Amino acid sequence: MTTSREALRRLAVGTLMPGFVGTTVPAWIEREYAVGLASVCLYAANVVDPDQLARLCSSLRAAGPELLVAVDEEGGDVTRLHYPTGSTQPGNALLGRLDDTALTRASASAIGGELAAYGINLDLAPVVDVNSADENPVIGVRSFGADAPHVARHSAAYVEGVQSVGIAACAKHFPGHGDTVTDSHHALPRVHAEAHVLDARELEPFRAAIEAGVACIMTSHVVVSAIDAERPATFSPTVLGDVLRDRLGFEGVIVSDALDMAGASAETGIPEAAVRALVAGCDLLCIGSETSQDCFLAVVNAIVDAALSGRLPVGRLEDAADRVALMSRRFGVGAGAEVRGSRDVPGWANGALVRGFEVGEAVRPWLDTPGEPVIVQVASDHNLAVGPVAWGPRAAGLATAEDDVPAGAKVAVAGRGLSARHPAWEVTERLRAQGHPTIVVDCGWPRGGADLVTFGGSVVVAEALGRYLGVPTR
Give pLDDT, residue 338. Answer: 47
Question: What is the CATH architecture of 5-330?
Answer: Alpha-Beta Barrel (3.20)
More confident residue, 217 or 178: 217
Give pLDDT, residue 1. Answer: 56
Query: Is 305 among the residues known to form the active site?
Result: no
Query: Is 257 among the residues known to form the active site?
Result: yes
Judged against a pLDDT cut of 80, whether residue 370 lies above it is answered with yes
Judged against a pLDDT cut of 50, whether residue 45 lies above it is answered with yes
Give pLDDT, residue 347. Answer: 59
CB 405, CB 442: distance < 8 Å: no
Average pLDDT of the chain?
92
Per the residue annotation, which of 154, 173, 177, 185 is the catalytic one? 185
More confident residue, 348 or 112: 112
| Ranges of each domain in the chain | 5-330, 353-469
Judged against a pLDDT cut of 80, whether residue 422 lies above it is answered with yes
Mean pLDDT of 185-202: 83
Per the residue annotation, which of 77, 257, 283, 442 is the catalytic one? 257
Judged against a pLDDT cut of 80, whether residue 348 lies above it is answered with no
Judged against a pLDDT cut of 50, whether residue 335 lies above it is answered with no
Judged against a pLDDT cut of 60, whether residue 136 lies above it is answered with yes
The pLDDT > 70 percentage for the chain reads: 94
Judged against a pLDDT cut of 60, whether residue 346 lies above it is answered with no
Give pLDDT, residue 21. Answer: 94
Give pLDDT, residue 345. Answer: 61
Mean pLDDT of 189-205: 91
> 249-282: per-residue pLDDT in tens?
999 999 999 999 887 888 899 999 999 999 999 9
> 155-168: per-residue pLDDT in tens?
999 999 999 999 99
Give pLDDT, residue 181. Answer: 61
pTM to 2 decimal places: 0.94
